[in-house]
Amino acid sequence: MPGNAPAQDAPIQGAPIQDAPAPRRGPPEPIPVTVLTGFLGAGKTTLLNALLADPALADTAVLINEFGEVGLDHLFVRPVEEGIVMLASGCLCCTVRGDLVAALEDLLRGRDNDRLPPFSRVIIETTGLADPAPVIHTLMTHPYLGLRYRLDGLVCVVDAVNADATLDAHEEAVKQAAMADRIVLTKTDLVAEAGRPQLDALKLRLKRLAPAAGLLDAAAGEADAAALLGAGLYDASGKAPDVARWLAAEAVAAAEHHGAGLDPASLDPNRHDARIRAFTLATDAAIPAGTLDLFLELLRATHGGHVLRMKGIVKVAEEPSTPVVLHAVQHVMHPPARLPAWPDEDQRTRLVMIVRDLDPKVIARLFNAFLGVPEVDAPDRAALMDNPLAPPGLR
């Protein structure tokens, strides 16, 4: 929701690049937060209950974000067990973002002064109509909460029976799925043999919409804690971060290659998801920090409202052996983090972009212009920077 969130610059140059995931001294490790989303009735609470039954999640705090609906969900979440934190009248109902901030702060206070058990993870269940972006923005931009919590991942629950109609009718549902790190398909047990082709078509539709997201079938037992949590880049235990899994750049590139990500002709243009594209920008070249900074600033200033999500790993020219990780939700950029080393042999810069109402070629041209890759009929970087109509700060 671009209008709601404060714009935030994230200069690569000048801003201290965070080291991750080196063991920290002093401030405590940020607590991973998983955002559980999915359209009305898709099965979020059912999945949450199943997850909370796993002893591995015994020390999980749960926030249920009901955005002003009559708060009933908490009645259906498993009764409070040791280690599961429920606040107020048995849950925490956040009606607006301010309440989410207050709730997250309250959790920390309770933990810090031993009023609450020392929970090591938070799951936020959003309402079915929620745009997940403001919740993620809150975690990314709040000056204090951003230090104590970190986004672990966005899990989207999709109802196999109703999803096609829901995705056609409700843009929120499309956005929830497009931004997800994991998609859980529920109610596949209700799909009769005759409905299997439709189910396969739905899976393809979701793959097109979110090629980077793992697709898991709840009824097949695939949506367990191990598969859903730990989707984020940073690992508090100090393990090497699973960048490949987080970025899923190969899956996005393969989807593009097969036309899944880039061929709107194969989609009904009236469908909301025909407006969403996922694609990867990749280059072997090391990028000077200042160039990267300018590219991101121009991207944010000119197309920020269209970028639903961007994740990336970048070879910065000044320190090519310690890549920088980028993570943006719409026009809000998470502070860049520097990894101690490349996580695997692929040492290219890769930016995975999920955009809405924007031709990937426009971004690719911009990227190439900044890299100095000549293109016919496309402005180079100097032309972009010298343009008197360029956004302030770029001239």
Ligand X SMILES: Nc1nc2c(ncn2[C@@H]2O[C@H](COP(=O)(O)OP(=O)(O)OP(=O)(O)O)[C@@H](O)[C@H]2O)c(=O)[nH]1
Residues between 126 and 155 with contacts to ligand X, criterion CB under 6 A? 128
For the bound state, the minimum distance from the C-beta of residue 337 to ligand X, rounded and expressed in Å, comes to 33
Note the helical H segments in the chain.
Answer: 44-52, 73-76, 97-112, 132-141, 145-148, 163-169, 171-178, 196-209, 225-228, 243-247, 249-257, 289-303, 360-371, 381-386
The stretch near ligand X (CB under 6 A) out of 34-42, 88-96, 163-171, 337-345 is 34-42
| Minimum separation from the CB atom of position 86 to ligand X (A) | 16
Under rule CB under 6 A, which residues in 184-203 are in contact with ligand X? 186-187, 189-190
Among 41-49, 311-319, 347-355, 371-379, the segment contacting ligand X (CB under 6 A): 41-49
Nearer to ligand X, 35 or 252 (CB): 35
Query: Which residues lie closer than 8 Å to 158 by C-beta, 6 or more apart?
Result: 38, 39, 42, 177, 183, 184, 185, 186, 202, 206
Q: Which residue is nearest to ligand X (CB)?
A: 43
C-alpha 97/C-alpha 237 separation (Å) is 30
Asked if 65 and 100 touch (Cβ cutoff 8 Å), the reply is yes
Site for ligand X in 197-256 (CB under 6 A): 218-219
71 binds ligand X (CB under 6 A): no
Specify the DSSP class assigned to residue 234: -
The amino acid occupying position 367 is F
Task: Indicate the residue among 186 and 291 with the shorter CB distance to ligand X.
Answer: 186
Choices 19-27, 43-51, 102-110, 346-354; region in contact with ligand X by CB under 6 A:
43-51
Among 5, 44, 57, 252, binds ligand X (CB under 6 A): 44
Q: Which two tokens stand for residue 169?
A: 């009718």
Question: Looking up tokens 């009901």, which residue turns up?
Answer: 66
Residue 175 neighbours by CB distance under 10 Å: 25
**CB of 122: closest distance to ligand X in angstroms?**
18
Number of residues that bind ligand X (CB under 6 A): 16
Q: 367 forms bridges with which residues in the sheet?
A: none
What does the chain come to in residues? Answer: 395
Q: State which of residues 21, 43, 153, 241 lies at the interface with ligand X (CB under 6 A).
A: 43
Site for ligand X in 355-384 (CB under 6 A): none
Beta carbon nearer to ligand X, 150 or 203: 203
213/177 Cα distance (integer angstroms): 9
3-class DSSP state of 205: helix
- The window from 38-46, 93-101, 229-237, 247-255 that contacts ligand X (CB under 6 A) reads 38-46
Which residues are at the interface with ligand X (CB under 6 A)? Answer: 38, 40-46, 73, 128, 186-187, 189-190, 218-219
